[in-house]
Chain A
Amino acid sequence: MSAEVLVVGSGASGVNAAFPLVEAGHRVTLVDFGNTDRTYAPLIPHQPFTEVRQGDARQHRYFLGDQFEGVPFGKIRVGAQLTPPRMHISADTARWMPLDSNTFTPTESLAVGGLAAGWGAGAFPFDAHELEGLPFTHADLAPHYDTVAERVGVSGDRDDLLPFLGDSQAMQPPLDIDSNAEAVLSRYQRKREKLNAAGFFMGKARLAVCSRPHRGRDGHAYRDMEFWADTDRSVYRPQWTLEELKRFPNFRYLDRRFVLSFSERDGGGVSLLARHADTGADERHDAHALVLAAGTLGTARIVLRSLGRYGERVPLVCNPYTYVPMVNLGMLGKAPRDRRHSLTQLEVVYHPKDGVGMHGQLYSYRSLLMFKLLKEAPLPLREGVQVMQLLMPLVNILGIHHEDSPGPGKSVALHRGADGAPDRLEVRYEPAAEEERAQSDGERALLRHFLGLGCVPLKRIRPGHGSSIHYAGTFPMREGGGPLTVDGDCRLHGTRNVYLADGSVFPKLPSKGLTFTMMANADRVGTRLARRLQGGHV
């Protein structure tokens, strides 16, 4: 028997929950706000960065933006890596999804593909220890990791990070690293034994990027334009899965809808209330089951509104994030290769025996343009440009993610909007002082190891809470849990047919990015729901 299922959101979680349902023959309607960029993408040539820079007279349009929105002022902010061609990702969120906070600045999305339309594609499976406390085991999730790795295309190496990142038959060869990363990796290899004994492990990045042609996408072409365009489609974007879904006759994509709430019908099934983004008209959509994948904060709004839980606080977790520009002395006197990519070059797992673990990503700097570095340098601009020309081949940037678990200072609540205005989400994020101290101490120890690898840290920058863009924990997965939790199938407590497939269900976050695991879990949620519907259990 085929059933009707509604999925909300076309982000990494939504499309990966929809896929197994559609494959199983169920009729799926994916409801989405669905913003896209129609302005800049058509302007960007399919050429390498240096050729674009030297030849394209229209480059100012996409590099700076027609409204000069790519020239940011003030200090480094959340989402600073979103360039004008990616800014549609967070468009309209302030109007449709207002948020109040003095301590937390999240980035949310109403775009086709959601946040992953511009993500860094770091794809990390959680290990058994990191999944502890969930109502399923690592072995239960393993086949879904494989399915998703094949669907999205993952590349990586079987190197020192294998024990932390696991293996997958679907894994493609790693991307080639650039000259800057090569210099760091070769120093690491020379000092490996000592570093490993201190809990420091380094390897090539595990990325949701095809290094060879895969599912109609090209292999990576090393054009160094990842922050600006998807010309070779090698970097995974949920839009690629959405395109595949659209080829199924039992799949329908309904965009320009803002989902407000759901209700369960007495006779069975679910009703969804959505507002048309252009006409403002309210619509009802009915189905046997509903899968919410509107992003952790987006889903929190829908659930709290639907259950009438205004003012009630639910937990929130988010990886604390710091980044550190460094000068790599190993690059002194060396010419950087032009053939390169702008994504993570190297990963670091740091698990000191007597401290907290953390995860680092090492980037080189070029394609985000020099003027953003000039802004940070206390130099007159004439000399600044010359200094940066010399320094840029040496600069690398280390992004550090810390783990996070719930605490009394970390929560969200929904408040009713006044006079027909949209409801407002209020976020409090105030970690305990000891947490922050432990993170800071850990960072200092990690940077000492980088100093040993010839990378001199310039300063540590904390762009503020929310800046990792990894949000989770609002409706934690717990077998036998109470209200505002989900069960092992990710079904919302107290409902018969409402499932959550995004970050909401993960009670805590290890220091790795959650998105790959979230996609695997979404595939698990979709697969289990498909089976349930097949059996007529709705």
Chain B
Amino acid sequence: MVKVRPVMPASRAVSTSEPGGSALAELVFAPLEAHVFLRYLLGAEPPAEVVERYRAANEKLFAEPASAADARLLDYVTRRPWALPMLDAAAAFRRPDSLLRRKLLVGAAVLEATPDFTARFLPQAVSVPRLVLRGALLGLSVAFKLVVGLILLSMVEAGGDER
């Protein structure tokens, strides 16, 4: 049977201001980050209008300095976009409240509310065999990214990011 999960109000559940944030972490928005994140979500170069909206959202939502851990993770994926799918998988599993996940979610929200991309976010009905097949493929893809991502995440957390 399912488990009960008591939930705290957002203000108490999330802390974005642990001590030790680096100067880099003070950056609320970096154009490179916007391109890397939105390209990852979209699979294509994002239109300028979407980048601008993502920038505005960052300014409003992430005004507080990031923690050192969050800043390190953001820096890592921005410099190595190939690692983003894996680290997203690992963060979703192990650090769902991380700044990386929150920024990606903002990116997804911005895309979902843009008419050119809404179709990707509307429900899709498929036959049972196709559902099973697509479910299995998605499961495999997630499993692979999660395994690699968890290794990468422990490296980043341990500061194993030699530039």
Contact = CB atoms under 8 A, between A and B. Distances in A.
The residue in B5, B11, B118 that gathers the most chain A C-beta atoms within 10 A of its C-beta is: B118
Given A54-B119, A370-B112, A390-B126, A73 B5 contact: no
B119 A366 contact: no
Contacts of A458: 2
Interface stretch (B18-26, B28-36, B98-106): B98-106
Interface stretch (A133-141, A229-237, A328-336): A328-336
B93 A389 contact: no
Contacts of B105: 71, 73, 371, 374-375, 381
Interface in A456-475: 457-464
Interface string B119-163: 111111111100100110010011001100100000000000000
Interface in B78-107: 85, 88-89, 92-93, 96-97, 102, 104-107
A385 B120 contact: yes
Interface residues of B, number: 60
Interface stretch (A61-69, A188-196, A524-532): A61-69
Interface in A423-468: 440, 444, 447-448, 457-464
Interface stretch (A74-82, A213-221, A304-312, A511-519): A74-82
Contacts of A378: 92-93, 96
Nearest to A49: B122
A43 interface: no
B48 interface: no
B10 A71 contact: no
B7 A462 contact: yes
Nearest to B138: A383
A50 B146 CA distance: 34
A382 interface: yes
Contact of A71 (B5, B61, B120, B125): B61
Contacts of B113: 59-60, 63-64, 369
Nearest to B91: A380
B121 to A, nearest CB: 5
A74 B9 contact: yes
B96 to A, nearest CB: 7
Given A60-B53, A72-B10, A457-B2, A393 B125 contact: yes
Q: Which of A72, A369, A380, A462 has the most CB of B within 10 A?
A: A380
Nearest to B145: A380
Contact of B112 (A371, A380, A386, A464): A371
Nearest to A105: B9
B142 A380 contact: yes
B127 A71 contact: no
Contacts of A383: 89, 138, 141-142, 145
Contact of B125 (A60, A75, A335): A335
A416 B158 CA distance: 51
A324 interface: yes
A50 B122 contact: yes
Given A64-B110, A390-B135, A74 B11 contact: yes
B9 A389 contact: no
Contacts of A59: 113, 115
Contacts of A60: 53, 110, 113-114
A77 B9 contact: yes
Nearest to A375: B105
A387 B104 CA distance: 17
Contacts of B2: 324, 447, 457-460
B13 A75 contact: yes
Interface in A480-500: none
Could you say which of A50, A75, A369, A463 has the most chain B C-beta atoms within 10 Å of its C-beta?
A75
Given A371-B105, A459-B2, A386 B7 contact: no
Nearest to B126: A390
A197 interface: no
Contacts of A68: 56-57, 60-61, 106
Contacts of B10: 72-75, 77
A384 B146 CA distance: 13
A55 interface: yes
Contacts of B85: 380, 382
A333 B131 contact: yes
A440 B4 contact: yes
A128 interface: no
Contacts of A1: none
Nearest to A366: B123
A53 B88 contact: no
Nearest to B141: A383
A538 interface: no
A254 interface: no
A393 B131 CA distance: 12
A71 B57 contact: yes
Contacts of B112: 63, 369-371
A460 B108 contact: no
A63 to B, nearest CB: 4
Contacts of A464: 6-9
Interface string A33-61: 00000000000000000100111110110
Given A64-B57, A386-B138, A53 B122 contact: yes
B44 interface: no
Given A68-B60, A378-B93, A382-B41, A389 B123 contact: yes
A292 B60 CA distance: 39
A388 B60 CA distance: 27
A198 interface: no
Interface of B: 1-11, 13-14, 40-41, 43, 53, 56-57, 60-61, 85, 88-89, 92-93, 96-97, 102, 104-110, 112-115, 118-128, 131, 134-135, 138, 141-142, 145-146, 149
For the complex of A and B, 9 pairs with smallest distance between CB atoms: A74-B10, A335-B125, A392-B123, A380-B89, A60-B113, A75-B7, A380-B88, A371-B109, A53-B118
24 contacts: A54-B118, A57-B115, A60-B114, A71-B57, A73-B14, A73-B102, A74-B8, A74-B14, A77-B10, A78-B9, A332-B128, A333-B131, A371-B109, A374-B108, A379-B92, A380-B146, A381-B107, A382-B40, A387-B135, A389-B122, A390-B135, A447-B1, A457-B2, A463-B7
Given A71-B109, A379-B142, A462-B7, 10 more contacts: A71-B61, A74-B11, A370-B108, A381-B40, A383-B89, A385-B41, A389-B121, A447-B1, A448-B1, A463-B7
